[in-house]
Amino acid sequence: MITKKLLSLIMLCLIILIACSNDDADQTGQNVASKEIDQEPIETSEPEFYYPLTGLPSSQPVTNRIVSVMINNHPSARPQTGLSQADIVFEMLAEGQTTRFLAMFQSEAPEVVGPVRSARPYYFNLADDYNALYVYHGAADFIENMLKGGAADHLNGSYFDNDGHLFVRETFRVAPHNSYLQYQAVEDVATTQGYDMEATYETLPFLDEETLGDIAGEQRSEVTLYYGQESVRYVYDETIDKYLRYNNQQQTVELENETPIELDNVFIIETPHQVIDDQGRRDIDLTSGGNAYLLQKGKLQKIQWKNSEGRLIPVRNDEPVGFVPGKTWVNVIPTDPGLNGITEME
| Long-range CB contacts for residues 230-233, cutoff 8 Å, separation at least 24 | 230/97, 230/98, 230/99, 232/91, 232/331
Q: What is the pLDDT of residues 212-267, one digit of tens each?
A: 988 999 999 999 999 988 999 999 999 999 999 999 989 999 999 999 999 999 99
Decide if pLDDT at 345 tops 70.
Answer: no
Q: Any idea which of 18-32, 41-55, 136-150, 220-234 has the lowest mean pLDDT?
A: 18-32
Strand-pair category, 167-169 with 328-334: unpaired
Decide if pLDDT at 29 tops 90.
Answer: no
pLDDT at 280: 78
pLDDT at 34: 40
pLDDT at 97: 87
Mean pLDDT of the chain: 89
Q: Report the percentage of the chain scoring pLDDT > 70.
A: 87
Decide if pLDDT at 343 tops 90.
Answer: no
Q: What confidence tier does 70 reach under pLDDT thresholds 50, 70, 90?
A: very high
Average pLDDT over residues 183-209: 97
CB 169 within 8 A of CB 178: yes
Q: What confidence tier does 17 reach under pLDDT thresholds 50, 70, 90?
A: very low
CB 101 within 8 A of CB 240: no
Angstrom CA distances, 262 to 148, 245, 246, stand at: 36, 7, 11
pLDDT at 40: 54
Decide if pLDDT at 33 tops 70.
Answer: no
pTM of the model: 0.86
| DSSP annotation string for 135-183 | EES---HHHHHHIIIIIS-EEEGGGGTT-SSSEEE-SSS-TTS-EEEEG
Average pLDDT over residues 172-187: 97
Domains belonging to the chain, first-starting first, are 49-192 (3.50.90.10), 212-345 (3.50.90.10)
Q: Any idea which of 22-26, 30-34, 340-344 has the lowest mean pLDDT?
A: 30-34
Instruction: Please name the amino acid found at residue 244.
Output: L
Q: What confidence tier does 298 reach under pLDDT thresholds 50, 70, 90?
A: very high
Q: What is the pLDDT of residues 267-295, one digit of tens each?
A: 999 999 998 887 778 899 999 999 999 99
pLDDT at 213: 87
Q: What is the pLDDT of residues 80-113, one digit of tens each?
A: 999 999 999 999 999 888 899 999 999 999 999 9
- DSSP SS3 for 282: strand
Instruction: Please name the amino acid found at residue 104.
Output: M
Angstrom CA distances, 35 to 27, 31, 176, stand at: 12, 6, 66
Q: Which of 132, 142, 124 is nearest to 279 (CA)?
A: 142
Q: Which of 299, 259, 342 is nearest to 251 (CA)?
A: 259
CB 83 within 8 A of CB 260: no
